[in-house]
Structure 1
Amino acid sequence: MTTSYTFSSQLYIDGRRTDASSDARIVVRNPATEETIAEVPEASPVDARRAVEAARRAFDEGPWPRMKPSERAAVLLRMAEEMERRLPELVAVNMAEAGSVRPLAETLQTLVPVAHLRDMAERVMPAFAWERPMEGTAAPGVGNAQGMVRREPFGVCALIAAYNFPFFLSMMKAIPALAAGCTAVLKPAPQTPLESLLLGDFADAAGLPPGVLNIVTGGVEAGRELTTHPLVDLVSFTGSDTVGRTVYAQAAASMKKVVLECGGKSANIVRADADLDGAVRSSLAGITTHAGQGCSLLTRTLVHESVHDEFVGLLGAGLAAVRVGDPADATTTMGPLISEAQRDKVEKLIRVGEEEGARLACGGRRPAGLGKGYFMEPTLFLDVDNSMTIARTEFFGPVGVVIPFGSDEEAVRIANDSPYGLSGGIWSADTTTAHSLASRIRAGGVTINGGSAGVNPRAAFGGYKQSGLGREWGEFGLSEYLQTKTVSWAAR
């Protein structure tokens, strides 16, 4: 069944829809059919500047930062209710612009971020320590004093999201920013702007004050304006580590706070005593979920040499059963890459893998019979050394590598021998040893035997090393958008 959807083709600035300053447009294509599904404004630096100025006025003069947390929470809950009412529309837009298969579109892409919004308003904000009294005695010779330590909104935030999970990533930035009392300018990725534009509708329906949330659709120039504008206090970016370093450098000139989530090449360790069926399902998901376009996917599988051949046989059978095609087809289990440029990048890396001596066990080509759409076969490389490009570079495509190991020490060494450190996995019947190994993995999150289902809002999401700075989700994400102030007075 097809669900219709609508969206605005205007920017959202200062609480109203508005045209861009030029006629430049961004063409949005369905990656499964290559058809144009929308055209949206390409915001210029002038438009981005207008949005920043609106956010600045709303922060300095408007009610939002000065509301009680409970009052802000009530507005966020109204936003959640409106999102829930329009979930079928969000799902339809996500399938059309991001190429998600329906089960993914209905869960992680849409319903999960709404659940995070509810969790923030219902659990995190009421229990958060917005202020607390200073405790203990003063230092010798200083005298007695009393005071409070307050958590206050950071200010104007530039929120720059990636294309792979457009609504989810926009929400993971907007939720804590708004909950903290900040004001924001959101710039979605140019490939997938439509779901983020709908946030303007939800803000209006909930009664969010003008200027608190602004949405501009644009490319590099608009992004640079947001990361360098002197009125912006904080920048939150999700994307490649290459662009993340550029954002970090641009923000440094005015000493903005920067929160970065920049991808990974995460290792999935399969010990000799692992449940191979479960481990295979985990590695299969790491390769095929959203056609491999996920920063925390486990795409580097480290398998104990004693079970290597059995594991590879099971994984190969699983990959052979993947049905690649249009997400609108209910039988499809893996959709397309986002664009022709991304598919070209993946194909180039596959050729590099073969040139460096890795063995292409399956896939590596465009699927037969799909003349339109940016599709790739699920692909697996064997005989991989961890020094190879394909073991160190994030594909952002449906490609996995398998690397054998002989001991736990070797597995930890290989897992940590990466410029990234976003996530990881360990499969073992010996959970005590698995917990010990997890503590040695240099990554922001490690699952044991599959971890918990879903994306838990009580978790802290973020990475070590070049995977980024800061944390997202729940109270950990909220804290990134808050300044800490001490107010003290003389004791009497």
Structure 2
Amino acid sequence: MFSSQLYIGGRRTDGGSDHWTTVRNPATQEQIAEVPKASMADVRQAITAARTSFDDGPWPRMKPAERAAVLLRMAEEAERRMPELVAVNMAEAGSVRALAESIQTGVPVAHLRDMAERVLPRFAWERAIEPTVGPAIFQGVLRREAYGVCALIPAYNFPFFLSMMKLIPALAAGCTAVLKPAPMTPLESLLIGDLADVAGIPPGVVNVVTGDAEAGRVLTTDPMVDVVSFTGSDSVGRTVYAQAAASMKKVVLELGGKSANIVRADADLDAAARSTLAGITTHAGQGCSLLTRTLVHESVHDELVERVRTGLARVVVGDPIEAATTMGPLISAAQRAKVEKLIRSGEQQGGQVVFGGGRPAGLDRGFFVEPTLFTGITNAMTIARTEIFGPVGVVIPFRTDDEAVEIANDSPYGLSGGVFTADMVAAYDIAARLRTGTVTINGGSAGVSPRAAFGGYKQSGIGREWGEFGLDEFLQTKTINWAAR
């Protein structure tokens, strides 16, 4: 339905490598597409196109309202092609339909509209500096200006969502970009070139290239790139950070998580159980902000575990194209092997599997793992400290709020968190003490609102995404001042 070619300087191309990447459906292992693998010369050509467009083209010099109008056309075209986006997401990423229609595709388009309709028109691009009286009168202006050329590198799990959450603020700021999707899920990102064409984005402003770690290294080290925005594991994030350091690039990192969900004795256990289920099964656990450590007061531990176990028994694992499916596959055989190894380590270290732990019966093709729940876990165990990126949750008991906060914060990560309790004062106090970028109370309410900020503490990353907070990451602040005598 759309081109799977590279998109460089406003044109489609197969590139110059003569190598192709096979994209497979993780639920069936069938080939669904072949895309050209960009050569290093292709990646450099895309960077040059972005650099030329930023230095000499109209995009950074447009008024914010003009850019907003273009972004609105981009949103309208994405909405028109939403059924296609959903179908591609289900095929390449293995999302069930409900997830494909919401967070995977619908939410980023809503964020795009919000940027065009709310953020850009209201953003303070210039503001006066309050005059200071001394030997002379100091006065001036603070200006916000586009940072420059941006390398955008999303992860495989939410291809369109992550690509757009980086591209939207970069474009709104007046930057130009080179987007490099993950090799396993490139199709939705390549479609963005079509959206850019229809919206009338000038050539070179948006470029989309494929490739592996070597292509990423070119993007993170090329001196013509000013900003690197990366989403992925903390181990690769450290590599990106180090590579960008040589040329002092601005770096935004959205990395891993091992987020804790604190369930107090007075909590609504049905709601808490639903939250725990979601943390295990949403996109087969392939989400950095999912709540995968459930810390539950010892007095209600067994009740909560039984509710979660009952809920897991109702989960239908299978091909997302089937209407009855509620949890799809992992992305690859390698990811499944990693998850299974961590499950075995949990058992070897003394954890008890109360549900799952293996592969679903009757699914001979596809990269499926049963949703799995562990009890008998301490926070020192590997399975409680490592980001699994699979449908595995652990339950850890606590006695006091202080102990719960201590366990929650005893992690190298700090991306998300949750609190379930009937006492809103206690909930807010706990939320304020958690060293994490987002906390939901009793399931939250805002979801992935463009008015919120998303990002982590500690090894979960640097910087923030979404709305005006994401826009700010792609802007420089310039002071222009003068003295009036």
TM-score band w.r.t. shorter chain: over 0.9
Of residues 399-408 and 129-138 in structure 1, the stretch that sits farther from structure 2 once superposed is: 129-138
Q: 1:370-381 maps to which residues of 2 (within 5 A)?
A: 370-381=363-374
Q: 1:100 aligns with which of 90, 95, 103?
A: 95
Letter in 2 for 1:36: Q
Q: 1:88-127 maps to which residues of 2 (within 5 A)?
A: 88-127=83-122
Partner of 1:385: 378
Partner of 1:301: 294
Contact persistence 1:99–1:327 (CA under 8 A): yes
Task: Report the CA distance between 1:145 and its aligned residue.
Answer: 2.3
Task: Report the CA distance between 1:224 and its aligned residue.
Answer: 0.4
SS of match in other structure, 1:26: strand
Within 2, Cα distance between the matches of 1:294 and 1:7? 27
Residue deviations 1:236-280 (CA, integer Å, cap 9, x gap): 000000000000000000000000000100000000000000000
Partner of 2:173: 180
Within 2, Cα distance between the matches of 1:230 and 1:330? 49
SS of match in other structure, 2:469: helix
Task: Report the CA distance between 1:136 and its aligned residue.
Answer: 4.0
Partner of 2:484: 491
Within 1, Cα distance between the matches of 2:75 and 2:83? 14
SS of match in other structure, 1:312: helix
Within 2, Cα distance between the matches of 1:454 and 1:488? 42
Partner of 2:433: 440
Within 2, Cα distance between the matches of 1:393 and 1:490? 56
Partner of 2:263: 270
Partner of 1:132: 127
Residue deviations 1:99-136 (CA, integer Å, cap 9, x gap): 00000001110011000000001001111110100014
Partner of 2:456: 463
Aligned residue pair count: 485
Task: Report the CA distance between 1:488 and its aligned residue.
Answer: 1.1
Partner of 1:152: 145
SS of match in other structure, 2:379: coil
Within 1, Cα distance between the matches of 2:455 and 2:52? 31
In structure 1, the gaps of 5 or more residues are 1-5
Letter in 2 for 1:166: P
Task: Report the CA distance between 1:9 and its aligned residue.
Answer: 2.6
SS of match in other structure, 2:132: coil
SS of match in other structure, 2:32: strand
Within 2, Cα distance between the matches of 1:424 and 1:266? 5
Partner of 1:65: 60
Task: Report the CA distance between 1:137 and its aligned residue.
Answer: 1.2
Q: 1:167 aligns with which of 160, 175, 187?
A: 160
Partner of 1:281: 274
Within 2, Cα distance between the matches of 1:401 and 1:41? 41
Within 2, Cα distance between the matches of 1:83 and 1:388? 44
Residue deviations 1:368-411 (CA, integer Å, cap 9, x gap): 10000000000011000000000000000000000000000000
Within 1, Cα distance between the matches of 2:446 and 2:306? 26
Contact persistence 1:420–1:467 (CA under 8 A): yes
Partner of 2:362: 369
Q: 1:348-363 maps to which residues of 2 (within 5 A)?
A: 348-363=341-356
Letter in 1 for 2:392: V
Partner of 1:36: 31
Within 2, Cα distance between the matches of 1:236 and 1:305? 41
Within 2, Cα distance between the matches of 1:368 and 1:7? 36
Partner of 1:419: 412
Within 2, Cα distance between the matches of 1:240 and 1:137? 47
When the two chains are superposed, the root-mean-square deviation of aligned CA atoms in Å is: 0.8
Contact persistence 1:423–1:443 (CA under 8 A): yes
Partner of 1:215: 208
Task: Report the CA distance between 1:41 and its aligned residue.
Answer: 1.1
Contact persistence 2:464–2:470 (CA under 8 A): yes
TM-score, scaled to structure 1: 0.98
Residue deviations 1:11-44 (CA, integer Å, cap 9, x gap): 1000010121111111100000000000101112
Within 2, Cα distance between the matches of 1:270 and 1:214? 45
Within 2, Cα distance between the matches of 1:8 and 1:392? 41
Task: Report the CA distance between 1:426 and its aligned residue.
Answer: 0.1
Within 2, Cα distance between the matches of 1:309 and 1:478? 45
Within 2, Cα distance between the matches of 1:453 and 1:443? 17
Q: 1:75-86 maps to which residues of 2 (within 5 A)?
A: 75-86=70-81
Letter in 2 for 1:272: A
Partner of 1:398: 391
Partner of 2:283: 290
Contact persistence 1:147–1:488 (CA under 8 A): yes
TM-score, scaled to structure 2: 0.99
Within 2, Cα distance between the matches of 1:29 and 1:451? 35
Partner of 1:316: 309
SS of match in other structure, 2:130: coil
Contact persistence 2:253–2:461 (CA under 8 A): yes
Give identity over the alignment, percent.
Answer: 76
Partner of 2:15: 20
Task: Report the CA distance between 1:490 and its aligned residue.
Answer: 2.5
Task: Report the CA distance between 1:453 and its aligned residue.
Answer: 4.8
Of residues 330-339 and 9-18 in structure 1, the stretch that sits farther from structure 2 once superposed is: 9-18
Contact persistence 1:44–1:221 (CA under 8 A): no
SS of match in other structure, 2:35: strand
Contact persistence 2:131–2:138 (CA under 8 A): no
Contact persistence 1:11–1:20 (CA under 8 A): yes
Within 2, Cα distance between the matches of 1:240 and 1:476? 22
Contact persistence 2:4–2:191 (CA under 8 A): no
Partner of 1:338: 331
In structure 2, the gaps of 5 or more residues are none
Contact persistence 2:25–2:94 (CA under 8 A): yes
Letter in 2 for 1:49: R
Contact persistence 1:367–1:377 (CA under 8 A): yes
Partner of 2:467: 474
